[in-house]
Chain A
Amino acid sequence: NAGVTQTPKFRVLKTGQSMTLLCAQDMNHEYMYWYRQDPGMGLRLIHYSVGEGTTAKGEVPDGYNVSRLKKQNFLLGLESAAPSQTSVYFCASSHAPLSGAADTQYFGPGTRLTVL
């Protein structure tokens, strides 16, 4: 049981290049999330998904796209990378909670992305 894994761990891009970050979970979780964390700051939600085939915008969605074609995978795409997207990206997943409750999120190890 690997939990939440992220690929790649590190990446350096040039401005304008594109890339896809892969998140995979083996806990059969319904919900998946993508966050970014800038130095000295908390995490900000980019996009999330409440089930296979569904996605929704979070707090900072501009410049990113996501897809959830399979329940266990959540992809984050950068179509045209910008230096402002230099950050650490975390993926998380959780079970859909009982009605009215809050979920418990399990996080991956993160991907460090630098855009030059």
Chain B
Amino acid sequence: LAKTTQPISMDSYEGQEVNITCSHNNIATNDYITWYQQFPSQGPRFIIQGYKTKVTNEVASLFIPADRKSSTLSLPRVSLSDTAVYYCLVGRNTGGFKTIFGAGTRLFVKA
């Protein structure tokens, strides 16, 4: 399974766009990139998943360059309620997905 590296923490202000980058130099050909969000005292929640180029949903965008050795989660116009820990995961299912969550990135959104 590919190891991921993310910043430990980030600060932002309400209304700003936040970009969190994840490095995964050892990503395998069939690996997907998935991001989860976790609020205090809650389980993680799926945000977005992608394989290459750009993926967008109602919550976020995921940018993946051609070499796929990194990915960037983009949160448009954050609010105080986006304060959470964001996890980047890299892997695939081959009869069972051994998920590895790193320490994640703690995002603090200030008023």
Contacts and interface: CB of A to CB of B under 8 A. Distances in A.
A94 B32 CA distance: 15
A105 interface: yes
B102 A42 contact: yes
How many of chain B's residues touch chain A, expressed as a range?
20 to 34
B87 A42 contact: yes
B100 A100 contact: no
Contacts, number: 73
A101 to B, nearest CB: 6
Nearest to B31: A102
B42 interface: yes
A40 B101 CA distance: 12
Interface in B12-58: 30-32, 34, 36, 41-46, 49
Interface of A: 4, 31, 33, 35, 40-45, 48, 50, 56, 58-59, 90, 92, 94, 96-97, 100-110
Given A56-B96, A102-B49, A110-B43, 14 more contacts: A41-B103, A43-B101, A44-B101, A45-B100, A50-B96, A58-B98, A90-B43, A100-B92, A100-B93, A102-B31, A102-B34, A107-B42, A108-B43, A109-B43
